[in-house]
Structure 1
Amino acid sequence: MRILFVFLFSFLLSAASAQLFRCVVAVDGSGTHSSLQEAIDACPDNEYSIIYLKNGRYDEQISIGSKTAASSKKLSIIGQHPDSVVITGNRARNTANGLSFEQVVTFQVYAPEFYMENVTIENTAGNTGMAEALYTGADRQTFKNCVIRSYQDTYRSKKGTRAYFESCTIEGAVDFIYAGGVIFFDRCTIRCIGNSGYITAPEDAAFTIPRLQTKVDKFLRLGFIFRECAITAAPGVPDGSFYLGRPWNSMAGSFYLNCILGPHINAKGWKEWNGNESSASFAEFGSKKPDGSAADVSQRVSWSFQLPADDVTNLFTTQGIYGRVSTTSPYTPELLVQAPAAPVSVGTDGTRLSWPAVADAAGYVVLKDNRLVGFTISTSYEITGTDGVFTVRSVGVRGQQSAASGVTSLPAPENPVAVSQLNGRLVFGEAVTAALYTTDGKLIKSTPQLVHEFNTSDIAEGLYLLSMTTSEGISSTKKLNITHKPSI
């Protein structure tokens, strides 16, 4: 009976998703494909396709097109959350093995108009050579809420192309954002690891703003542009051990605008490289310390400079810069990353969730206890015979996901598991797996196996939702006010 249920659930999930997502990828076989590459290959050319990645680790090297044959697929790849959807590889290149970056990179895109959201891409080769995680080899590449991590050469971009990163994390040690194109990083976290290194190594500028058009009276060679980013470091990274960048090419440029710089950034700011610094454009505006006070830039290298506010306001707009790169292929990523509003007033009659339609939503993702239940293009979803914490997310036409709706809980069974609080712990009346959520559906903490106790000493006091499942598979959910008052 259980096998039949799993089969029927997988069939229904695939059928429902076909209307919203062309492919659903799941390593456990519950989607239309178990391999992301197979799903990509199944999408037609010259059409928009959205691929949904269910939670899991996808150990495969992905290529959309190739260096010699670009792809015409217009793809969106959407995960549930970057912590739980990981595309991973572990190859590096060095003088000993003679591999090319195309042979080692975990994820490479040679298709324009690519969009990705809520996915981690990693290369776990470590400090063994150049180990790209991501290569964008085409124009108009957009990433939202993604994590890109490796050690050396984490992210490589192609000359003359445009890309945009919103609320992403990029991690590495040596030249881990490098090569060409004009790339905006908005409100991202740039995380440094290792004992020392360089964040950017720009190769060329997509174009140069003439000095006569600037208030600073300098050429502005536009490459990598960081706006309102946090430049952070892993624990143990020494103070002063990292540089904001070094010029790989004489016509290179990197700019940090209104960014927060951790103490691991060297007081000189930038590092010279083969004399390229004499013509490169390396600049800052409004750099701050983590406490919000102004960063001390008095010791910056003489060939770098501070931008005046007028140049930042008038010259460093996304559309102004992207429009100079290409007037025939408009690129408006700030509009693209905007998701529809979250559903409101999600209600239930015990067997069905329902909610008012959301403007600009192509469909909806339904989650139970922060796990995918299914998709729908209507404003209701059948949930017969199950108990738990349900949330709903709106989905835009390119797959953009909204924040979660408010929580809707189905009634608990007649004899729920007893729960008591004792000195920073939850004590259960029988062994359960447990998950704790905020009242708006965010997962705070969970147990991977059956337990009798659950530590809450590290959780702030307040109202939460607790979901429990017994060894017999009986689930229940209750509201719980976490308190740290000592028990008597």
Structure 2
Amino acid sequence: MFMFRLIIISFLFLALRVDKANAQLSYKKFGNKLLPYSEILVDGSGHGNFTTIQSAINSIPSNNKYWTTIRIKAGNYREKVIIPKDKSYILLKGSGKSKTLVEWDDHSDLKIPTFSSLADNIIVKSISFRNSYNNPINNKPKIPAIAAKVSGDNTYFFRVGFYGYQDTLYDAKGRHYYKLCTIQGAVDFIFGAGQSLFERCSINVIGDGYITAQGRESPNDSNGFVFKDSHVFGNATTYLGRAWRQYARVLFYNTNLTNVIQPLGWDSWNFNTHENLITFAEYGNFGPGADTSKRVDWVNKLDKTTIENMASVNFIDDKKEWIDNQPY
């Protein structure tokens, strides 16, 4: 009888510990499934679980399997933020693109952006990242200074701001979806070898240069940049892009191109003897910058099927593997 009672007490104690451990877990709909997730609050004034974003990320166990939402109160966060490769399933949510700002000012080295997202299955919403090193008003040299680097797969940005001058957004590799985002810069300010769809985004040109420098290296690579239903504007002049690698691929689709666009449109950069390998294309754009009569003579005319495939989520999620399975 004593042993039976001891077993019952032990079981109840274990159950109590399990309930306490799960008390911070809630449930959220992911596609058609209801799965556990947890929340962390970051508040710079000290009224949350953490005062810095990085400390909140550090608290998440490596190789975690459930989504964790890190909610960030409004404010300016003076820190570099890194989501390491072994910390997936993080939803980073600020209080608004104009209310929550993460800012730093490193430069030149591709490894030191203000924000680095290196893991797969990451969502970022309602926040902005700025590299202030060569802000136009501080008269510092105009050199690479990255606001954000994205190299994980299955990454979604919604209402996120990226602010810099040269090399603002390093879209390095992986499948990425940018929706209702703002990207500011002058020289190669969206660059890399990501396979990315930019939908309904605002592209703000603040200095003469190039919007994109895409890095596709082989005709068999699936990556490229697609800008759909977006708006390109600013106070300087710009090319739509130049080829960072010899098979660079960029499409502007149904986008408002204002008079900031250089008439030639595109630049082959170091590949002027291999222009036939580059895929730079425009379709259905409007505005004074959409006039293609003076474009470079090697700009591509893609067939309608290719354009329709690239200008949809099929370009980044053709098997419906990830976008529909993220938290609502």
Which TM-score applies when normalising by structure 2? 0.81
Is the 8 Å Cα contact of residues 123 and 150 (structure 1) preserved in structure 2? yes
Identity of aligned residues (%): 29
What letter is aligned with 1:133?
A
CA contact (8 A) 2:38 2:67 kept: no
Does the 8 Å contact 2:196/2:316 carry over to 1? no
| Uncovered stretches (5+) of structure 2, i.e. residues with no partner | 1-22, 27-36, 135-140
Alpha-carbon separation, structure 2, partners of 1:320 and 1:92: 32
Q: Give the alignment partner of residue 101 of structure 1, picking from 75, 92, 110.
A: 110
Alignment of 1:61 with 2:80, yes or no, is yes
Residue pair 1:250, 1:278 contacting (<8 A) in 2 also: no
Instruction: Provide structure 1 residue ranges, at least 5 long, that are not aligned to the other structure.
Output: 1-15, 94-99, 210-220, 337-396, 401-488
Contact 1:182–1:223 (CA under 8 A) maintained in structure 2: yes
TM-superposed CA distance for 1:277, in Å, is 3.1
Counterpart for residue 283 of structure 2: 285
Once residues 278 and 319 of structure 1 are traced to their aligned partners in structure 2, the CA distance between those partners, rounded to angstroms, is 26
What is the count of residue pairs matched by the alignment? 286
Residue by residue over 1:102-138, the C-alpha shift from the partner in whole angstroms, topping out at 9 and shown as x without a partner, is 13x0000111000010000110011541101110121
2:172 corresponds to which letter in structure 1? Answer: K
Residue 115 of structure 1 is aligned with which of 115, 123, 126?
123
1:71 Cα deviation from its structure 2 partner: 1.4
Aligned counterpart, 1:9: none
Distance 2:155 2:295 in 1: 33
Q: Deviations over 1:451-486 (max 9, x none)?
A: xxxxxxxxxxxxxxxxxxxxxxxxxxxxxxxxxxxx
Give the whole-Å Cα distance in 1 for the aligned partners of 2:298 and 2:96.
41
Shift of 1:141: 1.1
Whether 1:232 and 2:233 are equivalent positions in the alignment is: yes
Cα distance, 1:322 vs structure 2:
3.4
* 8 Å contact from structure 1 (residues 203, 248) kept in 2: yes
Match of 1:131 in 2: 145
Q: Residue 208 of structure 1: CA displacement?
A: 4.6
Counterpart Cα distance in 2 of 1:25 and 1:207: 44
Aligned counterpart for 2:202 among listed residues 172, 189, 194 = 189
Amino acid at match of 1:64: I
Answer with 1 or 2: which has the greater Rg: 1
Q: CA shift at 1:222, angstroms?
A: 4.5
User: Does residue 163 of the first structure (1) align with residue 176 of the second (2)?
Assistant: yes
Contact map agreement 1:205 1:223 (CA 8 A) in 2: no
C-alpha deviation, 1:242, in angstroms: 0.6
Whether 2:61 is the aligned partner of 1:44: answer yes
Q: Distance in 1 between matches of 2:219 and 2:48?
A: 44
Against the structure 1 CA distance between its residues 287 and 43, is the aligned structure 2 distance closer, same or farther, given a 3 Å change threshold? same
Q: What is the distance in 2 between the residues matched to 1:208 and 1:225?
A: 17
Map 1:52-451; keep pairs closer than 5 Å: 52-65=71-84, 70-93=85-108, 100-103=109-112, 105-126=113-134, 127-159=141-173, 161-194=174-207, 196-204=208-216, 208=220, 222-234=223-235, 237=236, 241-275=237-271, 276-289=274-287, 295-314=290-309, 316-323=311-318, 330-332=321-323, 335=324, 398=327
2:41 counterpart of 1:24: yes
Per-residue deviation, residues 11-46 of structure 1 (Å, max 9, x unmatched): xxxxx9975852110111111100100000112232
Q: CA offsets per residue over residues 399-444 of structure 1, 9 Å max, x none?
A: x5xxxxxxxxxxxxxxxxxxxxxxxxxxxxxxxxxxxxxxxxxxxx
Instruction: Specify the code of the residue in structure 2 equivalent to 1:165.
Output: Y
Provide Cα deviations, 1:147-178, integer angstroms capped at 9, x if missing partner. 0110000011223x111100000010000000
Given that 2:219 and 2:247 are in contact with CA atoms closer than 8 Å, whether structure 1 keeps it comes out as no
Provide the rounded CA distance (Å) in 2 between the counterparts of 1:23 and 1:264: 42
What is the letter of the counterpart of residue 38 of structure 1?
S
Q: Please say if residues 25 and 51 of structure 1, whose CA atoms lie closer than 8 Å, have aligned partners that are also in contact.
A: yes
Q: Secondary structure at the match of 1:178?
A: strand
**Conserved in 1, the CA contact under 8 Å of 2:231 and 2:255?**
yes
Task: Please state whether the residue corresponding to 2:68 is helix, strand or coil.
Answer: strand
Counterparts of 2:122 and 2:224 in 1: how far apart (Å)?
Answer: 20
Partner of 1:35: 52
- RMSD of aligned residue pairs (Cα, Å): 2.4
Q: With a CA cutoff of 8 Å and minimum separation of 6, indicate the structure with the bigger relative contact order.
A: 2
Kept in 1: contact 2:177–2:196 (CA 8 A): yes
Aligned in 2, Cα 1:62/1:314: closer, same or farther, shift over 3 Å? closer
Q: What CA deviation, in whole Å up to 9, does each residue of 1:172-215 have, x standing for no partner?
A: 00000001021100010011002x10000001168659xxxxxx
